[in-house]
Amino acid sequence: MIFLLLFTTFGSWLFHELYWKRRTLPPGPTPLPLFGNILALSAEKPGYEAFRKWTKVYGDVFTFWMG
């Protein structure tokens, strides 16, 4: 029973973080909970290349999550 409660709570939180908070923002790369897009930014060398790639995909205005 406790597992079901924890699973439901975590699922609700995840839905809120990944969808509900972002519904009115400009499009952008999907962030990871707690990390945002920092890991995707650090994967590119040099880091500004990630912003160039996202500009081509999402346009001049996009959402970037720091964490």
Note the pLDDT tens digit of each residue in 3-51.
889 989 998 888 777 777 667 889 888 888 788 888 888 887 888 888 8
Confidence category of residue 61, pLDDT binned at 50, 70, 90 = very high
Q: Which of 32, 19, 35, 26 is nearest to 55 (CA)?
A: 26
| pTM of the entire predicted model | 0.60
> What is the mean predicted confidence (pLDDT) over 47-59?
89
How high is the pLDDT of residue 24?
Answer: 80
